[in-house]
Amino acid sequence: MTVLDFLRLTRANLPLLLAGLLLGVLAAYAFSLTVPKVYTSTSTGYVNVASSDEGVDEVVSGSQAAQNRATAYVPLVASRPVAEEIAERSDSVDSADQIMGRLTATVVPGSALMQVTAMSSTPEEARDLANASLVATAAVVGELEGRDSPVEVIPLGDAQLPTQPASPDIQKYFLAGAVLGLVLAYAVAFLRKAADVKVRTTADVETAAGVGVLGVLPKDPSLKDDNRRTSALEGRAAEAIRQLRTNLRFVSVDAPPRTILITSARSEEGKSTVSTTMARALARAGEPVLLVDADLRRPTVAEVFGIDGSVGLTQMITGQIAFEAAVKQVDEDGLFVLPAGRIPPDPSELLGSSRMRELIRGFRKDFTVIIDAAPLLPVTDASLLSTAVDGVVLVVKAGETRKEHVRVAREMVRKVNGKVLGVVLNQVPTGGLTSHYYGYGYGAYESYYHQPGRTGKSKRPQPGARGKRRAGAGTVNGPAPHGETRSDPVMTSQQGNS
């Protein structure tokens, strides 16, 4: 995992990480309440070695001797004789065992000062114990050195009453809890990522499908089901469709695909969105486009364009009607639609027939053919059609489609010697942090797509070799048109999501 992947993981799981941090701090605080409070108090004593006043050398020698004695007496403070002496002098302590382990001593560097620290569960007891420890130490030293010894321990003042407990250290507990909470939250995030079976990034799509991503469609209101007939694509949605159109043109420079099957692994992934918007985008670029609704299970194209769908593809396959009677021109941009027609009892039989292959070969002479087919996994319709077209485009819904479903769909096409041109990642979130996790940041370009003064209107195609079409449908067996293509600045007549 790279640093960028780690940052994306952090952004995508930010609520989880914040929750882990908060829970860690709360757990640390709750644990600190169970830890007994310990107060400490410190008293200071001076180790003195009496010396004659014969000269400076003796004074210096006595000072050095005092430092050496102070260092030697440090272990004595925590010894049992001192504890017994304190117990004898104190009314609140019954035995030396209650004192053992509660006293520590140090020597101030470069001096003969001893500092004794006493620990207790109450501030008063810690103070009294610190004061008594120096007196007891002086008494024990006197017994050890003898009454005529020049060495003595002199207390320099009473210990202070502590105002705050020395333990537990709340700040350290909070820091440890926060770190532990973050570590556990990151562990959960990594486990979720490792166990995630859904397609969420372009890298997930490319790994599962084994092909590149042709386009990324945002989750945009203009691509909603309710807006399919009335809303126009603008801004980031229109830009995404234009990018998809461009990538599709250059997927094979030497032999650009003329017949394209658009399908998905399962239903409700947006294949009809890609079919209808892609067909309109190509038509607005000056190409005569035929959109064929080959989803004979749940046809939707006729409803999207508001045309009669009772007569169409199925009647053409069975030879009941001619091309001109079945195909409808839906606008002046050269977009023609062939509805599904009457739904047959066995759609696979019709779509896999040699007659269907003949129709597709005839369509490609005059049009760029976009075929909206049923999903791959539930039925075999799309697999049968994939052998009759130049390539297949798989539509994958971000955050919903399973990686295994994409792999199975890819293998279904390859097993019948079909060609997968690429994948369209659909319904990608557009705002905030999530868009970066998907590897496609729409939000940063919002102001570019919606510039002041841009009306969102595009020019109508000018008559040309490809753009000039008669009002009726073209002939199937006519010569293949050739001519220039052009790009529209903003798409204003796109239809929406299926």
What CATH code is assigned to 39-155?
3.30.70.1130
pLDDT recorded at residue 415: 93
Q: Kindly report the backbone phi and psi dihedral angles of residue 43, in degrees, each rounded to the nearest multiple of 5, phi listed first.
A: -120, 155
Q: Give yes or no for residue 474 having a pLDDT over 50.
A: no
Q: What sign does the CA torsion over 364, 370, 376, 378 have?
A: negative
What is the C-alpha separation between 151 and 112, in angstroms, rounded?
12
What CATH fold (topology level) applies to the domain 199-449? Rossmann fold (3.40.50)
Token couple for 248? 């599709």
DSSP string, 83-139: HHHHHHH-SS---GGGTTTSEEEEE-TTSSEEEEEEEESSHHHHHHHHHHHHHHHHH
Using 50, 70 and 90 to split pLDDT, how confident is the model at 471?
Answer: very low
- Please determine, for residue 154, whether its predicted confidence score (pLDDT) is greater than 70: yes
What one-character DSSP code corresponds to residue 58? H
Per-residue pLDDT at 379 exceeds 70:
yes
CB 338 within 8 A of CB 295: no
pTM above 0.75, yes or no: no
Exposure letters 114-151 (e unless 16+ CB within 10 A, then b): bbbbbbbeebebbbbbbbbbbbbbbbbbeeeeeeeeeb
By the 8 A CB rule, do 466 and 286 touch? yes
Residues ≥6 apart with Cβ < 8 Å to 359:
316, 317, 476
55: CB partners within 8 A, 6+ apart: none
- Taking residue 306's Cβ as centre, other Cβ atoms within 10 Å add up to 11
pLDDT score at 316 = 94
Of the candidates 130, 155, 124, the one whose C-alpha atom is nearest the C-alpha of residue 141 is: 155
Among 33, 20, 119, residue whose Cα is nearest residue 78: 119
SS3 content of the chain, % helix, strand, coil (to 5): 45, 15, 40
Residues 324-334: tens digit of each pLDDT = 999 999 877 78
Could you state, in order of their start, the residue ranges of all structural domains in the chain? 3-35+168-193, 39-155, 199-449
Would you give the DSSP letter of residue 265? S
d(CA 16, CA 20): 6
Q: In this model, does residue 444 exceed pLDDT 60?
A: no
**Is pLDDT above 50 for 75?**
yes
The two structure tokens encoding residue 239: 């830009």
Three-state DSSP class for 178? helix
| Of the listed ranges 255-259, 390-394, 420-424, 440-444, the one predicted with least confidence | 440-444
Cβ(119)–Cβ(36) below 8 Å: no
Tokens encoding 109: 């560097």
Mean pLDDT for the chain?
79
Q: Residue 479: is its pLDDT beyond 70?
A: no
Rounded Cα distance, 92 and 494, in Å: 90
Residue 229 is classified by DSSP as T
Give the SS3 label for residue 491. coil
34: CB partners within 8 A, 6+ apart: none
Q: Which of the listed ranges 12-16, 77-81, 351-355 does the model predict with the highest average pLDDT?
A: 351-355
pLDDT confidence of residue 93: 66
DSSP string, 431-490: STTHHHHTT---GGGHHHHS-TT-----PPPPP-TTT---SSPPPTTSPPP-------SS
- The pLDDT assigned to 56 comes to 40
Write out pLDDT tens, residues 179-191.
Answer: 999 999 999 998 8
Instruction: Say if residue 219 is exposed, middle or buried (CB neighbours under 10 Å; 0-12, 13-18, 19+).
Output: buried
Residue (of 233, 208, 186) closest to 456 by Cα position:
233
Question: Tokens 């010396």 label which residue?
Answer: 51
